[in-house]
Chain A
Amino acid sequence: MKDMHVPIQHVIGTAALIGLVISAGLAYNIISSSIQNDIIENQLQQVSEVVALNIVEIVNLANFANFGNLTRNDTMARTVDLPLDVSGKAYAVQLMYANSQDQGYNVTSYLVADRNTVASSLIPINSNAGLVQLVTAVTSPPTMYSVDGGEATVTASSVVYGGSNSTVVWAWRGEGNTTIAGLGRIAFSG
């Protein structure tokens, strides 16, 4: 009986160790995934912040310059240099509006493959009924705006993807102090 007892101890011990190694591997994987997720969310947050800041600035610039229909039907646009990917993963940037006291317009970035990995940045405009209106829904066909007297065209879009060098924020000031602004893609004629 004593000779039988030692192998069983070894079997249990070895099995427990193998289980522990597997569990440790899984635990490490979960922890490293969580850390990587935090890093990705941080990067997405930075992308959202930069896009939101650019939108605020282009809206104020268009308002400030009384740009638009006073002289010609023209649009202001600024290229946003977005990174190709975040940690090797494709991402999208979306301009959104949530009709609540605390969440008006915001810029939300998320991984294309995982919509749960997301980061938002506020735009300090709460109402969509005011003089500044941001384009948060894509129309079909998409609205196009002329830039620099027709030298370029901006196609309005509520979602843009990382890595494109044609991503812009744009603003168009119409009559009655109304300013329409949003995300889009720019195409230069010729």
Chain B
Amino acid sequence: MHIYEYLFTAIIIVTMILASSIVAETITSPQGRISETEQLKVTAQKIMNQILFDPGDPVDWGSNHNVAMQQLLTFGLGQHSETTRGAYVLDQDKILRLSNETNTDPTLRPIISGLLNLGNDYGVAIEFATPLIVDVTLSPGTCRYNIMVASQQNGLPVYGATIIARLYYVNSGQVAGSSQIVTLTDTTGNCIVDFGNLTAQSKSLVLAVDYSNTLVVKVVADKTAAILGGEIYSTTPLDVTRTACQAIVTNLDGTYAIQSVNSSIAPTPDGWYQLGTPEPATVATLAVANGDLVCASEDVSNATYSSISVNFQQLTNPVSYSIQRSVTINELTYVITLYVWRMSY
């Protein structure tokens, strides 16, 4: 046996070992990837369950703005009640607070993911959407709105959706509401709502869109304020000598209407304004500040939360998972989407 024969034998042995290792790794790695995806799926289900069914601790953390995010012991968006609870019913105050505070103060984002025990392993994002896309465009210098209604599922225009619209403005220093306009969308999903010639500086449009008993409410306002648990927070001081107006969508014998309920407002020591008689089904509260209209909308359709500051949808992540659920918020149907992804591999 010559020296090269020994070398040849050694090369064959090493090659066999390497080849068998590579084959073993190749066979098991797809199983590992499937397992990782399955684990992410279970993790997403756990987080979704916690968010949907747990009211959080303290249970009134949404409506009670005196409870700081840092004081939360557990996180959940479920609506709390001492006696009865509805499945998949969320608290709009918690959603509004989560969205407003974490988007204006990104340092609060890790607090939520910390409460969910995610640490640096997982990233999460939450989005809310209405079943119908309602797009509102105002013609410049007029009170003429073009409203376009489309399906959230496929983006196709919705024909025959009933549009109920009411415009709020300031008249003689007081909140005033126009007469209600009711119309239908055409085959392109569009319709025009024209309130004539109003010279008001700031206006707020409250829309109710009814399509086959699916109701979507949208509020379009020039000047906005925050509202939590019947208390308004406005950067511009509100005129407390004037009553605030609460816009409510009612259903009488299957017909929807936008109605107004007036309420007094009083300042609180911590800089908020307490409504005298807060109505539970209010979609927008309107008040006067420096002669202009300020609108505190309770619409959560644009509410979002993400554990990271960058747009998570632009991330290219090989291992991510999303779940959607239909939920009820303030008597309206929304779709909540939870995105979960791994931050490390």
Contacts and interface: CB of A to CB of B under 8 A. Distances in A.
A126 B114 contact: yes
Interface string A147-190: 00000000000000000000000000000010000000000000
B25 interface: yes
Contact of A124 (B20, B116, B121): B116
Given A35-B24, A38-B28, A125 B117 contact: yes
A45 B39 contact: yes
A123 B14 contact: no
Contacts of B13: 17, 20-21, 24
Contact of B31 (A42, A56, A126, A127): A42
A38 B32 contact: yes
Given A16-B10, A17-B10, A20-B14, A123 B74 contact: no
A102 interface: yes
Contacts of A46: 35, 38-39
B46 interface: yes
Nearest to B116: A124
B322 interface: no
Contacts of B114: 101-102, 126
A32 B50 contact: no
Contact of A28 (B20, B28, B83): B20
A121 B114 CA distance: 15
A35 B28 contact: yes
Interface stretch (A76-84, A85-93, A103-111, A137-145): A103-111
Contacts of B35: 42, 45-46
B50 A129 contact: no
A97 to B, nearest CB: 11
Contacts of A122: 43, 46, 116-119, 121
B57 interface: yes
Given A20-B10, A24-B13, A125-B50, A104 B57 contact: no
A124 B46 contact: yes
Interface stretch (B1-9, B147-155, B232-240, B281-289): B1-9
B28 A49 contact: no
A14 B121 CA distance: 51
Report, as a range, how many residues of chain A touch the other chain: 35 or more
B119 A102 contact: yes
Contacts, number: 126
A126 B43 contact: no
- The number of chain B residues touching the other chain, given as a range, is 35 or more
Interface in B11-32: 13-14, 16-17, 20-21, 24-25, 28, 31-32
B259 interface: no
A35 B1 CA distance: 37
B42 A49 contact: yes
Nearest to B46: A56
Interface in B22-73: 24-25, 28, 31-32, 35, 38-39, 42-43, 45-47, 49-50, 53-54, 57, 59, 73
12 contacts: A24-B17, A42-B35, A60-B50, A64-B87, A66-B85, A102-B120, A103-B119, A105-B117, A124-B46, A125-B74, A127-B115, A130-B73
Given A24-B17, A56-B49, A106-B117, 17 more contacts: A20-B10, A35-B25, A38-B32, A39-B31, A42-B35, A45-B39, A56-B46, A60-B54, A102-B118, A103-B117, A124-B116, A126-B116, A126-B117, A127-B74, A127-B115, A131-B73, A131-B74
Interface of B: 1, 3, 6, 9-10, 13-14, 16-17, 20-21, 24-25, 28, 31-32, 35, 38-39, 42-43, 45-47, 49-50, 53-54, 57, 59, 73-75, 83, 85, 87, 114-121
Closest 6 CB pairs of A and B: A102-B119, A130-B73, A13-B6, A60-B53, A127-B73, A130-B57
